[in-house]
Each structure stands twice: as structure tokens, then as C-alpha cells.
Amino acid sequence: MPEPILKQHVLDALKHVKGPNLSDDIVSLGLVSEIIIRGGKVYFAISVDPARASELEALRRAAEQAVKDVPGVEAVAVTLTADREAGTPPGGGNGAGAGTQQQPGSPVARGAAQAARHRTGAIQGVANIIAVASGKGGVGKSTTAVNIALGLQARGLKVGVLDADIYGPSMPRLLGIKGRPQQLAGDKLAPMEAYGLKVMSMGFLVDEETPMIWRGPMVMSALSQMLKDVAWGELDVLVVDMPPGTGDAQLTMAQQVPLAGAIIVSTPQDLALIDARKGLNMFRKVDVPVLGIVENMSTFVCPHCGSATDIFAHGGAQSEAKRLGVPFLGEVPLTLAIRETSDAGKPVVASDPKSAAAEAYRAIANAAWAELESHKREARAAPRIVMEG
């Protein structure tokens, strides 16, 4: 019986990998995060400045190969993670050049932050990545994400969906997809497909009732692989159904994935809006453009009499969007049809495109796309700052 792999074995191997300064090793520099070993698989992360992540890809590969050479190791997943404070531009605050202070949220700051993220984790063939997020669970974020994706597709765009909620993946059920992704050449996975969308989710890789008892580095490694090790092909937009909340997974995704913008989903009541505000501020701090807020479960419409009841209040998200100075993308009613079509794996935009709910989702998708195009034009028009010697 082979001897078990110990963390010390992994650390000993990584002591042979030089750090970014090419003098000390990455273990001595304290750059290796908690190492997790599951059978013959090893997961760990290396802390780097996100602005240098592209040039440090060789370091990541060297660390991966060093651990692969450890007896008994079958697979290795290594993630480069940010080591700087959220919202701090690379280089200690002067992202545009020495002596130039950028204001967070300015066109120049956003352009610099987006450029850093593109260097860090651009995905071949994917033109735009939009995150659909919420400050808390239970607000209908995943249902909103998949129907926004279908609304974007209705514009004639090529669309993919990444289910980034490792602990509670919803896309397999929402889209009625069963089975496992096909393994392709070059260690790539073929995305699953439904309703013309290309889809990847942890739910395709594990049983629905299997709990994901994973810690931070393992989650980030899984997300990195689902983003970069999937043959997405040519996409106009990849919609990412983010995990709820504002924890490590959400922050690292926002810092290291080239997000073109974020959509915040909330219900109208004050309790949900408090958490939605946190999610919005997280994206602002890492200079990801907030495309707008969606008010979900806005009004309950009785399927029998047609009367409307504001179960969770009404208009709260619109008022919050105005107060925070971000676009209000629209509202979605609380209807039996949305719940039934979602549970059946037949999202309402695809299964009942002429319904009021489907029209609401398409209008939100159109508004979000218009905001995305506006932000891209603004970033292109931002002045370049040239420091003269």
C-alpha cells in the first residue's frame, strides 16, 4: 500500500521553486497558502500581486510540476491569489504612474483595474464576462442569471453560463441538464448545452446531494479550472452566477477574473437591500463596473384573480439604485410560472417567451447590455496619462 502524501512532502518539493524575486523560495517567502490533500490530489494557492499574475504564470506551472513529481500525487491544482488589499491599485496606490493618484471608480482607475484583471485571467474566445451577484442567498439570483443569459441570447449574442456557486450549484436543475461533461484533448472539458447556452457547473461533476466540504484554496482552484479548462469556444458574453455573499470566493473572482461588469439582484425589503448594498460596494472597491440593480419578487400576481400584492414591499431596489447612483435595470414579478418553469428545468424566457415575466427578463438583459457597452466606450475614451522624465 503506497504511503500517504503529507503536507511536509509538498512543502519540501515547493522549497525548490524560486519566488518572484528569484532568490528565496516560495515557502520561505510565505507565499504558499494552506495545502489541502484529498487522496492523490493536492490543492494549494500562491499569493501574488494580481498585476503581475500574467508574468508569474511560469511560477505557477513550476510549482505545479514540482508537486506532481512527489510520489503518490495524481493531480495538482494551483491557483494564483491576490495578496494586496481590495481596491488598492498595483504598486501601492499609483496605478497610472509615479506621482499620479487615481480616484476609485474613475474611468482611468477602472481602465487600469480592468487591464490588470485581463492580464490575470483572460479566457480565450470570451469577449465579455458579466457577474450576477447578491449580498445574500434566497433572492432568486440563479433564476435571474439564467433568464438574463437567455435574454442576451435573444439579442443574437453567443452566450455561456458559469455556475460559480460551488456549495449550492443550481444550473443543472434550472436548465434541466443531466450527465457529465466530455473530456477533450489537452485536459479541456466540453461545456454542457441547453437552450443554445453553453454551461458549466460543479453540479455536473458531483452528485446533487453530495456536500462540498471545501475550504478556500480548493474552491478557488475549482473555479479557476471551470473558467480556464473549459472549451467555451467563441462567446460574446459569459454570465457568471456568483455565490451569494461577499466572502473570499467572491472577492477573488472579482479581483482575478476579467469582469466587464456586475449585476446585483435583490428583493425589495430592507433586510435584503442591506446585503445587496454590501455586494455592490465590494465590486466598487475592486473597480468592477456595476451595471445595475434588479428587483426580484417585486410584486406577487395572483394566478387566479390577477390581483397584485406587494409581499416583500415594492420599489425598494429602485430607490436604493437611485440613492447609490447606479442604474435600475428593472423588476421581475413573483409569479407561479417562474417557480414552476425553474423547477422543471425550462426557464421562462425559453419556455414562455411571450409572457410578462419573459418580457421583464429580456428588458433587464437589454438594459444591462446597454450599460456594458456604455462602460466600454467610457473606458476607451479615458485619457492616457504619460509621465515625462
Residue 214 confidence (pLDDT) above 70:
no
Q: CATH second-level architecture of 116-381?
A: 3-Layer(aba) Sandwich (3.40)
Q: Which of 324 and 92 is assigned the larger pLDDT?
A: 324
Q: Residue 66: in which H helix or E strand, if any?
A: helix 57-68
Percent of the chain predicted with pLDDT > 70: 75
Q: Which of 42 and 277 is assigned the larger pLDDT?
A: 42
pLDDT, average across residues 226-240 = 92
CATH 3.30.300.130 domain position(s) in the chain: 7-84
pLDDT attached to residue 82: 58
pTM of the prediction?
Answer: 0.68
CA dist., res. 240 & res. 280, Å (int): 16
Nearest to 280 by CA among 296, 260, 264: 264
pLDDT attached to residue 336: 86
Q: Do 201 and 189 touch, CB atoms closer than 8 A? A: no
Task: Return the half-sphere exposure (C-beta side, CA atoms, 13 A cut-off) of residue 339.
Answer: 10
Helix axes 57-68, 7-14, angle to 10 degrees: 130
Quickly tell me which residue has 512527489 as its cell.
70
pLDDT attached to residue 389: 45
pLDDT tens readout for residues 27-70: 998 888 768 787 778 888 888 776 666 667 788 889 989 999 99
CA dist., res. 89 & res. 306, Å (int): 52
pLDDT attached to residue 41: 80
CATH 3.40.50.300 domain position(s) in the chain: 116-381
Strands (E), the chain: 36-38, 41-48, 75-82, 129-133, 159-163, 192-194, 197-201, 237-241, 261-266, 290-295, 300-301, 308-309, 328-331
Q: Which CATH superfamily is domain 7-84 in?
A: Fe-S cluster assembly (FSCA) (3.30.300.130)
Q: Are strands 159-163 and 192-194 parallel, antiparallel or unpaired?
A: unpaired
Residue 106 confidence (pLDDT) above 50:
no
pLDDT attached to residue 91: 34
pLDDT attached to residue 283: 84
Residue 102 confidence (pLDDT) above 60:
no
CA dist., res. 315 & res. 294, Å (int): 10
